[in-house]
Amino acid sequence: MSFLRLAARNASRVRSFSSTTVARKDLVQDIYLREIKAYKPATIAKDAHVGVVKAYTLPPTPKTPTLPSDLAGELSAYDAAEPTKAAIAEVASDSDNGASGADAYLTFLEADLPKEEAHH
């Protein structure tokens, strides 16, 4: 009987972990890993870029602007020129009482809404 008691004590102390679990195989993962390990990238020639990439050339340097030879004459001609004025279009008032746009809008908002006809 003491053997049974000793076995019961040891069983309660030992975790219930089994080291003989059945190993499951994931076929898709195995195939994937095998293909990744077997992959060999294609070698690229050192002159593969020739004809695909254009050679870089610096843009031409811009020329510095030059002042006109007769600057004073051009400025005086500009000052003497008569400015043209745009024609002012008359704004027709849409309000009945000649009220300003804001007042007409407020009276429109305060007006009663038309009653909808009942559908029969």
Cα four-point dihedral sign 114, 115, 116, 119: negative
Look at residue 67 in the predicted model and tell me its pLDDT.
80
Residues in CB range of 94: below 8 A, 6 or more apart: 104
Two structure tokens written together for 92: 């027709």
Per-residue pLDDT, 101: 87
Whole-angstrom Cα distance, residue 28 to residue 16? 31
Give CA separation, 10 vs 4, 5, 92, in Å: 10, 9, 105
- What's residue 46's pLDDT? 87
For the chain (120 residues), the mean pLDDT of every run of 10, in chain order, is 68 58 77 95 86 90 87 89 75 55 89 79
Query: In the prediction, which pLDDT does 31 show?
Result: 94
What's the CA dihedral at 51, 53, 57, 60 to 10 degrees?
A: 100
Q: Quick check: 2 and 10 in contact, CB under 8 A?
A: no
Whether pTM exceeds 0.85: no
Question: Do 98 and 107 form a contact (C-beta atoms < 8 A)?
Answer: no
- 104, exposed or middle or buried, with CB in 10 Å at 0-12, 13-18, 19+? middle
